[in-house]
Amino acid sequence: MSEDTKRSDALPEGAHTDFSDSMSYGGYLRLDTLLTAQKPVSDAHDEMLFIVIHQATELWMKLIIHEIRAAMQALDRDAFGPAFKMLSRVARIQTQMIQSWSVLSTMTPADYLTFRDALGRSSGFQSAQYREIEFLLGNKRRPMLAPFEETPAVHAHLAETLESPSLYDTALQALKRRGYPVSDAVLNRDRTRPYQEDDSVHDAWTNVYKAPDDNWELYELAEKLVDLEDSFQQWRFRHLETVKRIIGHRRGTGGTAGVGYLEHALSYTFFPELWSLRTKL
């Protein structure tokens, strides 16, 4: 080993290895908890991959929820700059989640069958964080609360999210405050139901797009929303293709239609006017 290598491997001057009186890397990140949370229920080699991918996805979703809720609060006070940064971060997070399907797709159908039965009825359909993200983005359906009835605290939190304004509701309120005649029927609708495309909203966004220099913050907000939905749909698509690759058209472990359910999910649009106006501009 060269002297240069020895020097590069050495601890920085003044550093020590006794962390008893200070915060350590592992302590700060709670690695003792994090790295012991992988508990395979079979002896199958590929189950560890399956667990890690899904746990990592849940961590990314936790950050997505954190950023979307903060962006909504920023939009409520017309702090567009911070909101844009948070929404951009969500789109970048989604890119990481999209890439994770490429890792999971290294598992073959035969690999998955070595532990599939051990999963019982557990399913991603039961992910409370995924459901919260869907509700925050506007895909609201009260029946979607049913899988969480056995966990009252989770059920109550999701019910509150269902009944509260979505990210798009928050954006439409900002549009209204800027003088665009968004219909009161839209702003005061039943928020527990999926959003439906509205002519007043379509006209408002169209006017923003026709004069972007005069409406730059609203124009950029619209594009951030499109970026977010585009990334989310790519994540859904890669999920669909990975499931098709691994289990084909078999039913999901949670009893869903598997590929059929995922194909239906791809048909939903969170911000419909921002897509339809592109045809009519």
- pLDDT tens, the chain, 281 aa long: 555 555 545 556 655 556 566 889 999 999 999 999 999 999 999 999 999 999 999 999 999 999 999 999 999 999 999 999 999 999 999 999 999 999 999 999 999 999 998 988 777 778 999 999 999 999 999 999 999 999 999 999 999 999 999 999 999 999 999 999 999 999 999 999 888 999 999 999 999 999 999 999 999 999 999 999 999 999 988 888 888 888 776 655 555 556 766 777 777 889 999 999 999 88
For 14, list phi and psi in degrees, rounded to 5. Answer: 90, -10
Alpha helices (runs of H) in 105-215, residue ranges in sequence order: 109-113, 128-137, 152-163, 167-177, 184-187, 199-210
Please tell me the class of the 44-171+181-247+256-280 domain. mainly alpha
Alpha helices (runs of H) in 213-255, residue ranges in sequence order: 216-247
Residue 228 CB coordination number (10 Å): 22
Burial of 17 (0-12, 13-18, 19+ CB in 10 A): exposed
Alpha carbons within 13 angstroms on the beta-carbon side of residue 193 total 7
pLDDT at 248: 74
pLDDT at 13: 60
pLDDT at 84: 97
Coil vs helix vs strand at 72: helix
**Tokens matching residue 208:** 């923003």
| Helix-helix angle 216-247:167-177, to 10 degrees | 170
pLDDT at 268: 83
Size (the chain), residues:
281
- pTM of the predicted protein model: 0.87
pLDDT at 257: 53
